[in-house]
Chains A and B, each alone.
Chain A
């Protein structure tokens, strides 16, 4: 199974900060990576698919990049509503579909 390693597992940032989250795959997954945002007590929401395609409803301050084994999720200017946990998920080689361990973005 392909393993996804997210870093950091948590971070503290201020409103307006640029935030970068990394997801590394244990083997090549081309661009078959999705990102999800989850707020406390809520279901995850699809944020990005195909490594860089922003899902409907999310603002352009969110962006994704990467190919192969290294991927990043960037929030260009953190807003109060962005404090959440973010997960990556690979869909290149399955079963199983696998998720990263998550990155919790907290208020500094």
Chain B
């Protein structure tokens, strides 16, 4: 069974940084792209970015709203994906979901989200 478990959410002051982690199990982590999606009551679901499998370069792509502030990385040896967030503002307050990109297990990816974690709340406030 595929499981994605996020951690690291908290209350953080504006301008500060925070790192979220996503521990994956139940599949060959290294063969899949991983992504982060956030949700706010006012803006619905918003894609943040993804990281491809290393067999596809391990490269990343981001939404314009977080480009340059957020970084997605992965540690295939530990089956963990990370979301490093910096220069946080109140606009970043949301529930953050770790997701797995659709794929065939070869590293090739389909950019939709076939499995989701339970989500973790990040609140940016002074």
Q: Enumerate chain A interface residues (CB-CB to B < 8 A).
A: 34, 36, 42-46, 49, 55, 87, 89, 91, 94-102
Q: Are A99 and B47 touching (Cβ within 8 A)?
A: yes
**Minimum-distance CB pairs A-B, first 6:** A43-B116, A34-B112, A91-B111, A97-B47, A99-B45, A95-B61
- B80 to chain A: closest CB distance in Å? 18
A5 to B107 alpha-carbon distance, docked (Å): 31
* Given known contacts A94-B61, A95-B62, A96-B64, A46 and B113 CB-to-CB distance under 8 angstroms: yes
Q: Enumerate chain B interface residues (CB-CB to A < 8 A).
A: 35, 44-47, 49-50, 61-64, 97, 102, 110-119
A95 to B70 alpha-carbon distance, docked (Å): 15
Question: Can you name the residue of chain A whose Cβ is closest to the Cβ of B100?
Answer: A46
Q: Are B64 and A87 touching (Cβ within 8 A)?
A: no
* Chain A interface, >50% SS class: loop
* Given known contacts A46-B112, A46-B114, A49-B102, A87 and B45 CB-to-CB distance under 8 angstroms: yes
Q: Which of A42, A49, A89, A97 has most chain B Cβ within 10 Å?
A: A97
- B58 to chain A: closest CB distance in Å? 16
Given contacts A46-B112, A95-B62, A96-B64, 6 further A-B contacts (CB under 8 A): A43-B118, A55-B114, A96-B63, A97-B50, A99-B47, A102-B44
Question: Can you name the residue of chain A whose Cβ is closest to the Cβ of B63?
Answer: A96
Question: Which residues of chain A are within 8 angstroms of B63 by Cβ–Cβ distance?
Answer: 95-96
6 cross-chain CB contacts under 8 A: A95-B62, A96-B63, A97-B50, A99-B44, A101-B44, A102-B44
